[in-house]
Amino acid sequence: MEYGSIEREIHIDAAPEVVYEVVSTPEHLREWWPDDVELEAVPGATGVVRFGGEGPAAAHVVPVTVVEADPPRRFAFRWVYEGREATPANSLLVTFDLVPSGTGTLLRFTETGFRENGWEAAVLQERYRQQVTGWDHFLPRLAPYVARLVAAR
């Protein structure tokens, strides 16, 4: 098995502008992905993503650095790093590319950087497996959330 990247494509029945908002703003991210997020969609901005509760009960807090914010085409961030600064050698890169498709949007999701971290084989396999499991849980929640959002507007 290749552990270089995770790639998914999802068709969403909403304009790229709406999908961009949902993948790049805390108020919407919280509805389909993490339990909490502090993030500004500006290149170079740093924040955190929390899974598993708030405050001292938080199970997992992950730093995030926005790499690219090009509405409504692309939103990318680095995460899963230790230390003060995310680099290609110490983090994973998540990219949401948004392509108009009929009356909706084709969302192309990629997560890369697994091999660049220099993890030993067993760690690489486990980290990759964890990320696949996580994204396979969260990404399918995206289109239904956008559909509810669009219906409410």
pLDDT tens for 45-102 read 999 999 886 555 557 889 999 999 999 999 999 998 877 788 999 999 999 999 999 9
**Predicted local distance difference test score (pLDDT) of residue 60:** 84
Cβ proximity of 63 and 45 under 8 Å: no
**Predicted local distance difference test score (pLDDT) of residue 153:** 83
**Predicted local distance difference test score (pLDDT) of residue 1:** 65
Q: What is the CATH number of domain 5-152?
A: 3.30.530.20
**Predicted local distance difference test score (pLDDT) of residue 47:** 94
DSSP summary character for residue 33: S
Q: 51: alpha, beta or left, given left = phi > 0 and alpha = psi -120 to 50?
A: beta
**Predicted local distance difference test score (pLDDT) of residue 59:** 72
**Predicted local distance difference test score (pLDDT) of residue 55:** 58
**Predicted local distance difference test score (pLDDT) of residue 61:** 86
Estimate to the nearest angstrom the gap between the alpha carbon of 115 and the chain centroid. 18
**Predicted local distance difference test score (pLDDT) of residue 4:** 86
Euclidean distance between CA atoms 82 and 75, whole angstroms? 22
Query: Among 138, 114, 136, 139, which residue's Cα sits nearest to residue 125?
Result: 114
DSSP line for 66-111: EEEEETTTEEEEEES--SSS--TTTSEEEEEEEEEETTEEEEEEEE
Q: What global pTM score does this model have? A: 0.93
Across the chain, what does the average pLDDT equal?
Answer: 92
Query: Among 81, 67, 64, which residue's Cα sits nearest to residue 29?
Result: 64
Euclidean distance between CA atoms 131 and 137, whole angstroms? 10
Torsions phi, psi of 13, nearest 5? -80, 70
**Predicted local distance difference test score (pLDDT) of residue 130:** 94
